[in-house]
Structure 1
């Protein structure tokens, strides 16, 4: 069981944190947001986000920040800028200044055992969100809340089967996969779930799979590459909307019709992807819900109070198909 330290007053901890974090992190205002620490009686939550690489990620961060403000929770926010070493440094700073709860989005699955043991030794519970981790001692963190990447991959695979089920004019269906960040649980889950559905159908072949690191620019670069390598591509399965939009740009530059010449499946459900679905440039959009802030803060409050939480909690997600009544989809907000 995690025990919250009470020897130092909340206000004193906040003052010390605010003074020392400037020294510890070099007062880099472009990277860290510690200026809005309020002196009230709410719990203190250290939140380490992996970055701001997409509209999805920005929405996810905003959701947590808004939920914390609404509940009177003091949120100390850190942007790791896609570097695990930055994130470990941030977690250690949270431990040093005795926040009540640590919440973090792990960039990759491995390499967290030592810092989480330090948090456990300090009596600070840890909540993992969005991406999962792999540690030897599962008790090093209290629980996970986020999206089900394995299910997202399965939904993508099932759409491919359903789409080409009646098309018997080809011996093989050639699939290109734009993979997410190497070593991240979401990329691994989306790849595994997709292959799980297709494993008994050898006619569906993944002819190209490379990491685009969830970035639009990399999606564009990879599309330029695979469009030069292959003339016969039936499906593009992209692990996120950013890479998808980059690939669409590259296709259109080559005179191809996205969604018609090549079937496109994407994950996230940003507004831009829904607009592309409406425009016939994408055939299936699988939601990855970023608006997890209220659930995260509720779980953090329970942990701070010494209560137990579920080990695994998934948020609700939907799948949007080209055959749906797309006018019913409400604005995404990201």
Structure 2
């Protein structure tokens, strides 16, 4: 009798899974036939924030490929940059009894209620890429992703070293080193962490001042728009700290349109390490590229499998990331794949 009940429940979930993958927003959900699904493992609901960049597309593909390789049924939902879409997707995952929920939160706040619903349903939740702020930390099982605080620190350390000579002359010249910050999405943990880490390193160095800091939502088009704005406001920008490559590439377009040389007239530090940013580094248009590793799919799926088996996972797990400098042998950098 117990065996029959489990079989019926499994068949119910397979039917619901097929319906869900056709209803939720987002291409690329891993679909299989009924016979294949019956022999497969767990079902994971994965909510992605969007497809705004090559980095984000690579991140999604990494999760989808890892799920397919492990025989995991993946229900993929694209939130299209809206938190309300993510919350709807998470509630759909709960309703259809997925084994594990993995999601990339657009912003840090506003998740308590839906995560409580997941816990009440007995579904563990894995947070990835961006962190969340909840009153009860036990509402989610763990986090895996980028160390945004370290990324900001790495950017600050490069700026300190790059302007060493000008810093040492500051007491005599009183010439400030003026920095523009292209901020990520307001309220996102990665933007908050990168800004905090950057300022932490520059603290105690009065020769640096951030004269302009605005959100470009990690979008290339907005990076261009912001650059047009700050270039019209200031004639003495020394450096740009951009929270992602998309905004950096947009800013480079605006800088060149103004007749300036990115990487020479204005030092540029960027985060992500997309192929386009590495190419710009090789061309001398960018001075430092800090990697934000998007290829987290294999680890996400392994952690989901552990959660589905009732195991505990690390509360905090960071992925390996590198920093690429203008002084490196750039011929050694392998193709990025995104």
Same fold, TM exceeding 0.5?
Answer: yes
Aligned counterpart, 1:36:
31
Which of the two has greater helix per residue? 2
Aligned counterpart, 2:278:
274
Aligned counterpart, 2:331:
327
Aligned counterpart, 1:256:
260
- CA distances 1:77-96 after superposition (whole Å, capped 9, x unpaired): 00000000000000000000
- CA distances 1:44-99 after superposition (whole Å, capped 9, x unpaired): 00000000000000000000000011110010000000000000000000000000
CA contact (8 A) 2:24 2:77 kept: no
1:182 is the counterpart of 2:218 = no
Change (3 A) 1:6 1:292: farther
2:234 to 226, 230, 233: 230
In the alignment, the residues of structure 2 paired with residue 330 and residue 130 of structure 1 have an alpha-carbon distance, to the nearest angstrom, of: 23
Matched residue SS, 1:162:
helix
In the alignment, the residues of structure 2 paired with residue 194 and residue 34 of structure 1 have an alpha-carbon distance, to the nearest angstrom, of: 37
Unaligned 5+ residue runs, structure 2? none
Change (3 A) 1:6 1:315: farther
Aligned counterpart, 1:110:
109
**What is the Cα deviation at residue 203 of structure 1?**
1.2
Change (3 A) 1:7 1:184: farther
CA contact (8 A) 2:129 2:146 kept: yes
In the alignment, the residues of structure 2 paired with residue 6 and residue 238 of structure 1 have an alpha-carbon distance, to the nearest angstrom, of: 52
Unaligned 5+ residue runs, structure 1? none
1:246 is the counterpart of 2:250 = yes
- CA distances 1:167-204 after superposition (whole Å, capped 9, x unpaired): 22562100000000000000000000000000110110
1:145 is the counterpart of 2:144 = yes
TM-score by length of 1: 0.94
In the alignment, the residues of structure 1 paired with residue 21 and residue 336 of structure 2 have an alpha-carbon distance, to the nearest angstrom, of: 35
Matched residue SS, 1:276:
helix
TM-score by length of 2: 0.93
CA contact (8 A) 2:241 2:268 kept: yes
